[in-house]
Structure 1
Amino acid sequence: MKQRRAGVLFRNAFRFRFNVFALAAAAAWTGGVHAQEVPGASPSDSGAAPTSVLPAVTITSQREIDATTEGSGSYGAQAATIAGKVPQKLQEIPNSVSVVTRQRMDDQNMTTLDDALRYTTGVQAVSYADTAYYSARGYLLGIEFDGVSLMSGVQYEPQLDLAFYDRIEVFRGPAGVMDGTGNPGGTVNMVRKRPLDTFHVSTETQVSSFGGARQMVDVTGPLNKEGTLRGRAVIVGSDEHQSIDRYREKEGGFYGILEYDIDPRTTVALSAAHQVNADTGFDYGVGGMSNGQRLPTSWSQNFGPSWNYQRNTLDETNLNLTHKFENGWSSSTTVLYRRYSFSGTYAYPFGATGSNPYDQTYYAQKQSGTYNWFAMDTNVSGPVHLLGRDHTLTFGATYSQLSETNPFVSQNIGTFNVLDAASIPEPAFSSGSNTNFRFQQGGVYGQAHIKITDPLSVTLGAREIWYQSETQTTGDWKVNSRMNGKFVPYAAIVYNIVPNISAYVSYSSVFAPQTGTSFGGQGLAPASGKQYEAGLKGTFMNGRLNTSVAAFRIDNDHYQLGDPIHTGFYLDAGKVRSQGWEFEVSGEPLTGWNIYAGYTLLNADFESGLTATSLGNGAGLESPRNLFKLYTTYRFQQGMLHGWMVGGGMYAQSATSRLSSLYEQGGYAIFNAQVGYQFNKHVTASLALNNIFNRGYYSRTPGTFYGQFGDLRNVMLTVRTDF
């Protein structure tokens, strides 16, 4: 009873604080944020002629913070929008935030979200046939598109080509105030390219040693004389073979956006994207033997039948309206619709049936389905001048819905030799089953950035969440779970030790509705818990270089864990604790020299629940204890090497496993190198050598099944034009 009463008092105190600032915001809105008298004037002077010259008035203004990375040429971002809906300097955000800039995407030839997150600090990207799943700090990640959160929108889901995006922002740890789903691991925000105010055309042509080609064209600029109407169109297509034998991926996509200034302070933007991916010969891989040994095969071996096929279609529409008020406040409303449809037929090995490990049972599956997301977010943000200092308030509301249908049939098609999988005959499938799912979530949120003293600031935030999940097999919809009002608080303190170095501590509450279901068909309870984080952030060399170091601890209950036996289903893992620390540096410390490096140390353990007894004490087995990522380039500015570029990087991780240490993969490192030349201001070319030492490794560590190989050594030639 005392604990409940304390919680009520905390909630009421929190709401009282927000009510105070809401009143202050209303006053600022109607009267202006800074109401000051004109020097030398008084009310009695209004009707009299001036008797003297007014003293000179000096007006100074600060350049508006912009989080856009296109055209910066740097690996270091100046700001991000993922922590507060509006651009915030990275040094002022009291949490771990990484930004994959447009320049780094280009230099590392990133074309998929998998590529970007694989080289993001603290993120583990695990391949899953033609998709992937992602985690940070031992937990799965959530996703936003231009700040609008979608439930279950990133795990195992294909994404649009990175040619359509300006940057990828990654918030590690729960972001439940600004991101309604509040995944414990963190949130990814994919931010689209916007139209430029000058005419611009760029192209990108790539060919790889695997036997593939890719072409991209990007056109943007004003569409009327006044420049109030701007547009952009990006077209991309590829036909690429992969490191695995017989695996081929085809892609065709388009992204278009129109942006119109209704007046100097109001802008409306409408965008649409369409992309089709068709994959043939894709492979889920093979598992380990019962004694933990690997099958002694080639690292390019394909264990799937020749008729494995899947086709994905992604459609997205985004409408955004922004307005900037005269008193410094701004508003933004975004409506997002996203549709993913797919169909596929495939088979995969599920483990040895006898003494010969090469003879394994194959399961075939035929499925099709659609995912329909609808989401919206509306918010206002701006400054309040109170008690002699400037503070910033943000208020908003959000709603999202996911409707899912996934009819499928799965059957045992017999025992076959995994080394001759291409000859497995395609079966005649029997009738299957289907269950429809619908998830809804809404909420209101607020955040106050309060300036206590010049070096000290406090951030307080909260969200009230409503959630419901339903299923339908036959007949009426059935409500599986419902949450009417869940209070999620957030608090942080930032202290500027010196102008370019700050220290912070933050507390985040975890509440994450989970869309996974158990093998028995039951929905999983929402994840709940808390995170404590403390760190240092620095900005050096006139803002060109960003550094950060952070220590964290997350205690989480009802953690959703992939069922190791039943594919596509989940377990309630009980209570889990993950903790560790991480370091990151990014930017352009010298003209022409870009660098990104990130290191993470992670420990995750089950505290109680099903998995504490069935899987041992080690949680997050697929998340390595040590994870290090590096990429750097240098463009010569003068002398005989002027115009040349050299670069390279590495990815290194410690041992990982699935199910138990029986299926452990030891630590490994992958090294890459690059050389490029700028022929003139319009044309550049680069040659990248990836996996220099041809290291064989698993991109997904095998269990009893599903062990996928990573890419072997390959060369990629890229030619870019810019006009």
Structure 2
Amino acid sequence: MKPFFLTSTAIALLASALPAIAETTENAPVTEVIVRGASSNLAAGAPAPDQKVPFSTSSVDIETVDIQGGLTLNDALRNVPGAQPDFSFTGVHSPVFMLRGAIADSGTGNSRVMRDGVRLSNYGYASAFVERLDVVRGAGALTAVRTEPGGSVNVVTKTPQPRTFASAYAQVGSHNQGEAYLDGNLVLSAQNELATRLILTRSTSSEWRDAKDKLNGLKWSISKSHADLYRVLFDFEATDQTYEPDFGVPGINGRPAKVPLTLQLGEPFAPSTLNNRIYTLQGDLRLSKNWQVSTRLLHADGHQTSIRNSVFSAVAGQPGVYTRATAYEPYGKRDTDSAQLSLTGTETFGGVAHNLFLGLDYQTEELALLSLRVPAANSPNINIFAPVFGLVTAPSGTLTATSTRMDVTTKSLTLQDRIDLGRLGLVLGLQYVDQDFLYGTTGVLPVQEDRVNPKLGVTYEVSSNHAVFGSYSEGMAPNQATSKLNQSLPSRISKQWEAGWKGRFLDGRFTGSAAAYQLDQSNLLADDPSTAYAFDKTLAGEGRSRGIELAANGEISNSLRLDLAYGLTEAKYTRNSELAGKSVANTARHTLSVFVTHDWNAFAYTGLGLYGQSKRFADSQNTIELPAYARVDLTQGFRMEMAGNPVRLQVNIRNLLDKDYYVASHLHVSRYILPAEGRSVSLSLKLDF
């Protein structure tokens, strides 16, 4: 923990100096600078109150996650109905997830999230950079290029604000877990409405399973605006992640192997790395009272090395003995370029108000990946019940190399009209997508697709605080796989019907929602039975998710806050050459998250949370079952002042009752089941200047 104490001290010193720096920048009194943050509007196109949006949406602010003691993306997603953790090869800081039991696998790019409206792969999540999460639950219900089958998660990052301030945060926890950041916002010129913001962060995940994961990050942005006429924002974000993949434990006889949950079977000969650089230029211009044009240009480049050592297959006749394998990718480079242009406005025709949206999106993503084949002799067998460590060695000499490419170019045109007819509202939308996609080894053939995805919805305001809605939407997402003929495969298609209710209580301080949906998918991947090669795939599958989702969030009273998310999800393969009738792996029928925060007075507050999942299968063949669990979390915090500046001291106990459970598994195989951490304690201190 010593590096964290040093980092925290440095951050506190820098933070205390920032106000003095601001005073020397401009002697005149600081007045308000109009700096507008990025707006997602993924579901509605043009800005709209949530009750006029006929789709299920969730918004999770980072303050709520912080009170709950969360640091990762999956920690934040506990507040979203129907969201469940998935299995990641890229460490704790680059997690994956499932929404609405969408049929997900390692070939769908389900590790992708949206950052400020642009979809990125293997995004290194740093909570210090995040303002909130905007989540659209369901296929096709957004305006950006690509739509993940179960919905999309948009990470809205922090931007310059109209006042000078600084925040310093430091956390230390069990098993060398820690987090520290400095967030400084500076008004450079009040008269010219110019402001800048710099955030530095360092994060280390818990090493309770002896798998290290560290992320260092920097985010700098500068914004110039003029009243309500225009705003220009430049943003740069850099993250460097060093990690050791954790493959968990294998499943045996229908259950996870009975070994200590702390047992780490992977022995990579070196750590993996994932370094991302993101450059964004964004502009908003008001053309008239009712019309605005916005544009966003983004370039992201990522470099990665991946060294994954894990158990591979059980040795016949030797209970508990497994072969092991090392996957070695010494070089990977990913470049993403995105250009977005949108026009939003309101016009009235024949006494009817039309809220119009037109969006043009262009995005390219190129991946070049080099893989080297490591001889089996470098990874000797291991007995998981009596393991002997230290036998895995780094490869030497000349290794067989394989190159993998991914090139995807997506162009889309989105048209949408939200029509106000008194209490009745209509949303009519079309998205035309033209996509060229290539994924595979040398000589792979591309696939070209074009498709029109409709989006139709209706809302009805039962009263000023309650509305019901219904909608239909479609979407598509690339299949990252090839056939035995080395042909890239067409995208999976998703179609969803949904109906629900949204309500506001206590003058809007408390909100609730309920939704029922059916999500159908086609063009799902299946193994090709005509070839023995495991990576040869065909399109021979369909899936269906049905469910009910409930959410309640906000202040019940001046001292009591409730955040509740419940999902009932039934996800099955309906047609598949291998899996017809089987349940989707890693998807629990019931998920529940409840977190209640009580302010005892202006000084002290307490939070109590319950998070649980019912039993679910660990693999697509439904051979291994993960038991149900319920985890209890506790927060105790204190608000104080130091020299007139707010200070918050907080203790979080995660898994208070020290419950043994499993957090995620790999979709295709039963040998990767990830245990969850037992009871852990963290102490955090936040200072605002």
Pairing of 1:692-711 with structure 2 (within 5 A): 692-701=656-665, 703-711=669-677
Decide whether the 8 Å contact of 2:79 with 2:564 is kept in 1: no
Q: Which residue is 1:111 aligned to?
A: 71
Cα 1:560–1:113 change in 2 (3 A) is farther
Question: Residue 137 in 1 paired to residue 100 in 2?
Answer: yes
Q: Could you tell me which of 55, 73, 89 is aligned with 1:95? A: 55
Q: Deviations 1:471-529 (Å, cap 9, x if unpaired)?
A: 5755xx7542102x411111111000011000111011233333344687542321224
What SS does the corresponding residue of 1:127 show, helix, strand or coil? coil
Q: Which residue is 2:411 aligned to?
A: 442
CA distance in 2, matches of 1:404, 1:382: 37
What SS does the corresponding residue of 1:673 show, helix, strand or coil? strand
Pairing of 1:49-448 with structure 2 (within 5 A): 81-129=41-89, 130=91, 131-139=94-102, 140=104, 143-150=113-120, 153=121, 157-175=122-140, 178-244=143-209, 246-261=210-225, 264-280=228-244, 282-289=245-252, 291-305=253-267, 307-367=269-329, 368-411=331-374, 412=376, 413-418=379-384, 419-420=386-387, 422-428=389-395, 430-448=399-417
CA distance in 2, matches of 1:107, 1:562: 44
What SS does the corresponding residue of 1:528 show, helix, strand or coil? strand
Moved more, 379-388 or 300-309: 300-309
Decide whether the 8 Å contact of 1:308 with 1:347 is kept in 2: no
Deviation for aligned residue 1:704: 3.3
CA distance in 2, matches of 1:434, 1:184: 28
Question: Residue 488 in 1 paired to residue 458 in 2?
Answer: no
TM-score normalised by L of structure 1: 0.82
Cα 1:619–1:294 change in 2 (3 A) is closer
Cα 1:704–1:506 change in 2 (3 A) is closer
Cα 1:176–1:88 change in 2 (3 A) is closer
Cα 1:539–1:85 change in 2 (3 A) is same
Deviation for aligned residue 1:320: 0.2
Decide whether the 8 Å contact of 1:68 with 1:166 is kept in 2: no
Deviation for aligned residue 1:382: 1.1
The one-letter code sitting in structure 2 at the alignment partner of 1:574 is G
Question: Residue 624 in 1 paired to residue 588 in 2?
Answer: yes
Question: Residue 456 in 1 paired to residue 424 in 2?
Answer: yes
What SS does the corresponding residue of 2:256 show, helix, strand or coil? coil
The one-letter code sitting in structure 1 at the alignment partner of 2:476 is F
Aligned length: 631
Q: Which residue is 2:19 aligned to?
A: none
Greater gyration radius: 1
CA distance in 2, matches of 1:286, 1:173: 32
Deviation for aligned residue 1:306: 6.0
Deviation for aligned residue 1:127: 3.4
Cα 1:609–1:427 change in 2 (3 A) is same
CA distance in 1, matches of 2:372, 2:292: 51
Q: Which residue is 1:33 aligned to?
A: none
Q: Deviations 1:326-381 (Å, cap 9, x if unpaired)?
A: 32211110011122211132311113213333321000121131221111211011
Deviation for aligned residue 1:570: 6.4
Cα 1:442–1:618 change in 2 (3 A) is same
Q: Could you tell me which of 611, 627, 640 is aligned with 1:651? A: 611
Question: Residue 603 in 1 paired to residue 570 in 2?
Answer: yes
Q: Could you tell me which of 438, 462, 469 is aligned with 1:504? A: 469
Over the aligned positions, Cα root-mean-square deviation in angstroms equals 2.6
What SS does the corresponding residue of 2:153 show, helix, strand or coil? strand
Unaligned segments of structure 1, at least 5 residues: 1-65, 70-78
Deviation for aligned residue 1:172: 0.6
The one-letter code sitting in structure 2 at the alignment partner of 1:594 is R
CA distance in 1, matches of 2:657, 2:337: 46
Question: Residue 586 in 1 paired to residue 564 in 2?
Answer: no
CA distance in 1, matches of 2:535, 2:298: 27
Q: Deviations 1:590-640 (Å, cap 9, x if unpaired)?
A: 223222111111112222232xxx234124221111111112212233xxx
CA distance in 1, matches of 2:75, 2:478: 27
What SS does the corresponding residue of 2:307 show, helix, strand or coil? strand
Deviation for aligned residue 1:114: 2.7
Q: Could you tell me which of 437, 447, 451 is aligned with 1:469? A: 437
Q: Which residue is 1:29 aligned to?
A: none
The one-letter code sitting in structure 1 at the alignment partner of 2:604 is W
Cα 1:98–1:470 change in 2 (3 A) is same
Cα 1:597–1:442 change in 2 (3 A) is same
CA distance in 2, matches of 1:596, 1:673: 14
Q: Deviations 1:281-309 (Å, cap 9, x if unpaired)?
A: x42123112x3243321111111116351
Cα 1:124–1:518 change in 2 (3 A) is farther
Q: Deviations 1:155-184 (Å, cap 9, x if unpaired)?
A: xx2423021121111101112551321222
Decide whether the 8 Å contact of 2:371 with 2:402 is kept in 1: yes
Cα 1:531–1:240 change in 2 (3 A) is closer
What SS does the corresponding residue of 2:496 show, helix, strand or coil? strand
Higher RCO by CA contacts (8 Å cutoff, separation 6 or greater)? 2
Q: Which residue is 1:575 aligned to?
A: 542
Cα 1:653–1:517 change in 2 (3 A) is farther
What SS does the corresponding residue of 1:285 show, helix, strand or coil? coil
Decide whether the 8 Å contact of 1:203 with 1:217 is kept in 2: yes
Cα 1:571–1:664 change in 2 (3 A) is farther
Moved more, 459-468 or 306-315: 306-315
Deviation for aligned residue 1:715: 0.1
Q: Deviations 1:672-715 (Å, cap 9, x if unpaired)?
A: 01101112251110101001111112222374311111111100
CA distance in 2, matches of 1:524, 1:118: 33
Q: Could you tell me which of 713, 717, 722 is aligned with 2:679? A: 713
What SS does the corresponding residue of 2:148 show, helix, strand or coil? coil
Cα 1:472–1:608 change in 2 (3 A) is closer
Decide whether the 8 Å contact of 2:504 with 2:511 is kept in 1: yes
The one-letter code sitting in structure 1 at the alignment partner of 2:597 is T
What SS does the corresponding residue of 1:574 show, helix, strand or coil? strand
Question: Residue 689 in 1 paired to residue 656 in 2?
Answer: no
CA distance in 1, matches of 2:204, 2:498: 44
Q: Deviations 1:106-149 (Å, cap 9, x if unpaired)?
A: 21233322322244221111232414321112214553221234
The one-letter code sitting in structure 2 at the alignment partner of 1:328 is N
What SS does the corresponding residue of 2:333 show, helix, strand or coil? strand
Q: Which residue is 1:8 aligned to?
A: none
Q: Which residue is 1:73 aligned to?
A: none
CA distance in 2, matches of 1:687, 1:521: 54
